[in-house]
């Protein structure tokens, strides 16, 4: 994947929030195009401002969309960074584009293991 992005690939960053992961990738791979999607309009506005400030707005686009309905399908990489645990249906989100990503490119997402810790009071 690194070689593809160095040559110029297309990436969808799902659940991008304020765009930090999208902007980091855009800085690392200036020949590639990046599309960040999030369902929160305020986060998308903040991501657009951050892309302008970072100097990557020419190759980064941010749009309001959910993990199940974001536009496009010919991405080289579909990324879910630090967001599946916040989604109402994380399995459905991963399945909806994870399988498609494997057909057309790669799908990356964080795997989270949730553990419970028990805190006892010393009072």
Residue bearing tokens 């980064």:
60
Question: Domain map of the chain by residue range?
Answer: 2-109
Residue 18 φ then ψ, to 5°: -80, 5
Whole-angstrom CA distances from 14 to 21, 52, 108, 118, 123 are 10, 20, 10, 33, 45
Q: What is the mean pLDDT of the chain?
A: 77
Does 114 have pLDDT greater than 90?
no
Q: What share of the chain is helix, strand, coil (3-state, %, to 5)?
A: 40, 20, 40
Superfamily per CATH, domain 2-109: Vaccinia Virus protein VP39 (3.40.50.150)
CA distance 37 to 15: 6
pTM of structure: 0.76
The two structure tokens encoding residue 53: 């400030």
pLDDT tens digits, residue range 66-98?
877 888 878 888 887 766 556 666 666 666 654
């Amino acid at each position: 994947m690194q070689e593809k992005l160095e040559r110029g690939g297309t990436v969808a960053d799902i659940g991008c929030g304020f765009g930090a992961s999208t902007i980091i990738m855009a800085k690392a791979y200036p020949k590639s195009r990046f599309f960040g999607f999030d369902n929160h309009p305020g986060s998308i506005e903040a991501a657009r401002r951050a892309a302008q400030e970072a100097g990557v707005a020419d190759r980064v686009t941010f749009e309001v969309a959910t993990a199940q309905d974001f536009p496009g399908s010919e991405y080289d990489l579909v990324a879910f960074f630090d967001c599946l645990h916040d989604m109402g249906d994380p399995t459905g989100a991963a399945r909806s584009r994870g399988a498609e990503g494997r057909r057309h490119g790669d799908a990356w997402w964080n795997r989270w293991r949730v553990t419970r810790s028990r805190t006892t009071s010393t009072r």
